[in-house]
Structure 1
Amino acid sequence: MNNKPVNRRFSIAPMLDWTDRHCRTFHRQLTKNTVLYTEMVTTGAILFGRGDYLHFNHHEQPVALQLGGSDPESLAKCAKLAQERGYNEINLNVGCPSDRVQNGRFGACLMAEPTLVADCVSAMKAQVDIPVTLKTRIGIDEQDSYEFLCEFIDITHKVGCDDYIIHARKAWLNGLSPKENREIPPLDYERVYQLKKDYPHLDISINGGVKTLAESITHLDKIDGVMMGREAYANPFILAQVDQLIYGDEAVNPITRHQVVRNMYDYIEDEMSKGANFWHVARHMLGMFQGLPGARSYRRHLSENGHGKQADISTMEKALSFVPE
């Protein structure tokens, strides 16, 4: 167990079907300081599911578990289990707008129930010593005033939540798909900046639309942390500069894209020996050469040949041959 404190200056967003342990292992080849998040895991899956939904590799640390749920007792049980397993942070999802999540009474719809969220935070904090954080939106539906956001912060902070990750868009709970909710409601970074001014004692990270490290550095002049989402997944080599540019780590050794991919070979072979399919890991590496000559051929070869039982390290080596070193 290694529940060491985390520096949330830069993190990668929890993304369903994307940020699994294979993805996080890959991202950890590129950055040692970035805080990595699990996909959202429901309390029901952890407590009653047939699989081990808390499994992660300790080389992924620092890693945070994102929970989905709204029952304080169940969340408290899951938080305790997660701390025992070595997670560095527990994050409650108060931002996902999907119908499935709403029907389970968790995600963004919980913004309308700040007292319930406070009860959830309080119950979890009573069971763990690691940070309990909230990832939320700036508002939902017609409840999108700055006062509404501040009331949510006030009520949840009273029970000891000091760390917030704010997706700088409101969520429309009816009428927009999750994808549309990431794109259609306008970004309002200024509202998150104002929140930090009004609550300087809180640790506030910003999320939504961040595509470059230059943008991240600009945000960090005004708030405590930046959470990058899809850009980190689609163009992962951007992470190779995070330790130096964001964390000021001058001891970073330059690494090439080919080296990063080959550094994954032992992990891939170990996972395959345990029954994993090559594609389970390789799919997260499709964007490694984005924008470079040969990138399309690299992606095509992996996509066409990486799924079957015969796919292995030689499949990746062939894909790499399309991209000049």
Structure 2
Amino acid sequence: MTDVAVKNAALEARRLSVAPMMDWTDRNCRLFHREISRHSLLYTEMVTAPAVINGKRNLLLDYHEAEHPIALQLGGSDPRELGEAVRIAGDWGYDEINLNCGCPSDRVQSGAFGAVLMKTPDLVADCVAAMRAQSDVAVTVKCRIGVDDQEPRDILPRFLETVAAAGVNRFTIHARKAWLQGLSPKDNREIPPLDYELVKDMKAEFPHLDLSINGGVATLDAAKELLAQGMDGVMIGRAAYHEPFNILGEADAVFGVDGLARDPFEIADIMRAHIARHMERGGKLHQFTRHMLGLFHGRPNARQWKRILSERASGGDLSDYDAALQAVRLGAQAAEG
């Protein structure tokens, strides 16, 4: 595939993406999701720019070649550091570099990045300009509609306009405010009301920008509806993690292709081979299976699958995986009569 074709494929992939989620979307999770959907865009967990510069780069940046298209999400607020992190990450060949301007956790607030950057669009513009100067791939931004007492209809247009002037034309907008004090990260995903209409209005106001919407999208049908309403892309978070096959099993239809036409049992069999190789290299069963508990969500004996893997996986082996899979196979056979 040529460089142009790769870039076009990555751009098309933003039509449906799985959100970056700390402690969840690690390389094992992403490989699992990629076995379900070939075309959806996958994101790393957020990695801070200082960690990339000073930390164990292979541990932070390595991924399986099969994960493409894949985006690296960076956290930071120092243009020099972010530019250096992007330069370093260039050797890993990510399809997109994303700047986090949406996470409300105490950790990112103490570092003056994440959602707090909604208050300083000029600084964000400086950051992305430094990142773009070091990047051969698209630099994008994930943001909120505002924070704290900001009025989203006033600040979001200015934020988009200011950052776009620095050369970014792709944004993913979490359609909720973030409250930096008084709400936990979990509460910030649920309590502030969603304002999809504002995000859709931004698409009308800035038709030249590529805008994806995030927040509260719980089904693939809901994602398709938002695309039909004019959004360029939809990012799904926890629903894709907790119900991976229900969300991603038919996701490739969003891209106009039939996808892999696999069922959850075939995915489980394919993952068994990945897990076996992982364990041969010294890995643990639960490092994969903790991401797979929702594979059979809504299907007979799904609770037994989750229970067996949850109870045995920390010190378990492939026999425990096989026992969990056998439980759901028996449930499926009983349901078929």
Q: Deviations over 1:283-309 (max 9, x none)?
A: 11100111111111111111111111x
SS at match of 1:132: strand
Q: Find the partner of 1:67 among 71, 74, 77.
A: 74
Tell me if the contact between 1:2 and 1:86 (Cα under 8 Å) persists in the aligned partners: no
Find the aligned partners of 2:176 and 2:321 in 1 and give their Cα distance: 38
Instruction: Determine the structure 1 residue equivalent to 2:32.
Output: 26
Identity %: 50
1:7-156 residue pairs with structure 2 within 5 A? 7=12, 8-50=14-56, 52-156=59-163
Q: Which runs of 5+ in 2 are unaligned?
A: 333-337
User: Does the 8 Å CA contact 2:43/2:73 hold for their aligned counterparts?
Assistant: yes
Q: Any conservation in 2 of the 1:21–1:38 contact (CA below 8 Å)?
A: yes
Aligned partners of 2:36 and 2:260 also within 8 Å: no
Question: Counterpart of 1:259?
Answer: 266
Q: Is 1:230 paired with 2:238?
A: yes
In 2, Cα distance between the equivalents of 1:158 and 1:135?
16
Amino acid in structure 2 at the alignment position of 1:317: D
How far residue 2 of structure 1 moved from its aligned partner, in angstroms, is 8.9
Contact 2:48 2:75 in 1 (8 A): yes
- How does the TM-score come out when normalised to structure 1? 0.96
User: Could you give the per-residue CA deviations for residues 160-187 of structure 1, whole angstroms, max 9, x where no partner exists?
Assistant: 0100000000000111000000000000
State how many pairs are aligned.
321
- Partners of 2:221 and 2:183 in 1: CA distance: 30
The alignment yields a C-alpha RMSD, in angstroms, of 1.4
Name the SS of the counterpart of 1:280 in structure 2.
helix
2:305 alignment counterpart: 298
String of CA shifts for 1:19-51, please: whole Å, max 9, x gaps: 000000000010010000000001121111246
What is the rounded CA distance, in whole Å, between the counterparts of 2:129 and 2:16 in structure 1? Answer: 26
Gapped regions of structure 1 (runs ≥ 5): none
Kindly indicate which of the two structures has a greater share of residues assigned to helix.
Answer: 2
